A and B are shown apart, each in its own frame.
Chain A
Amino acid sequence: GEDVEQSLFLSVREGDSSVINCTYTDSSSTYLYWYKQEPGAGLQLLTYIFSNMDMKQDQRLTVLLNKKDKHLSLRIADTQTGDSAIYFCAERSRSSASKIIFGSGTRLSIRP
């Protein structure tokens, strides 16, 4: 079946890099996503990567995709207090192109 797994918590010091990891099961996934949920808000798309790419960089964000191991990571450089949020890894469903399968979310907290 389709499943996305990620750890529940990550704590980093302000200014350090944060790396959030995720594994997925569907090797035919075309798109993989990172969504961000700030306190009291809904989810917002942070970035996405198409399955024919290995890496995507957007300012402080770097997404790495290892298709062989079905592993996706999100690196946030120079982590700031405003990066405190829950980060959801997600993959596009094979059974329905409009559906997205979400992981459990990783809560990122920033230490001063």
Chain B
Amino acid sequence: DVKVTQSSRYLVKRTGEKVFLECVQDMDHENMFWYRQDPGLGLRLIYFSYDVKMKEKGDIPEGYSVSREKKERFSLILESASTNQTSMYLCASSGGQGFYNEQFFGPGTRLTVL
């Protein structure tokens, strides 16, 4: 079974703090993604990576950065957390670009910024 794990289920941080969200997958997938999920807005792509040290901006990259030093790990960084970054963050991974390209999701991290 593919497993995507996220470092925390719940996180509470203060405005201005630097926040790290970690994601690890165990299926040797090339592609990894970070989304945020907000009610009524669905999933919005923040960043994705198709290889180690490679990254591409998604639809809402402002205020975020990412790091992919190893194939299995993709980190999302909030350099200076703000209240409008309170959200559910979902990590996903997928392998290759052929076939139907299923994305496998972690359980999510609910981040609250006070």
Contact = CB atoms under 8 A, between A and B. Distances in A.
A100 B101 contact: yes
A102 B101 contact: no
A44 B105 contact: yes
A96 B54 CA distance: 14
Given A98-B48, A98-B50, A98-B94, A41 B100 contact: no
B36 to A, nearest CB: 11
A99 interface: yes
Contacts of B35: 102
Contacts, number: 51
Interface string A69-112: 00000000000000000001000100011111011110000000
Interface residues of B, number: 24
Of A48, A50, A98, A100, which is in contact with the most chain B CB atoms at under 10 Å from its CB? A98
A77 B108 CA distance: 29
Nearest to B38: A104
Interface string A1-27: 000000010000000000000000000
A42 B31 contact: no
A50 B100 contact: yes
Contacts of B103: 43, 45, 100
Nearest to B45: A99
Contact of B101 (A8, A92, A103, A105): A92
B101 A42 contact: no
A48 B99 CA distance: 11
Nearest to B4: A42
Nearest to A43: B105
Contact of B90 (A43, A45, A48, A92): A43
Nearest to B58: A99
A102 B43 contact: yes
9 contacts: A31-B101, A41-B108, A42-B105, A42-B108, A43-B105, A44-B105, A50-B100, A88-B43, A99-B48
Interface of A: 8, 31, 33, 40-45, 48, 50, 88, 92, 96-100, 102-105
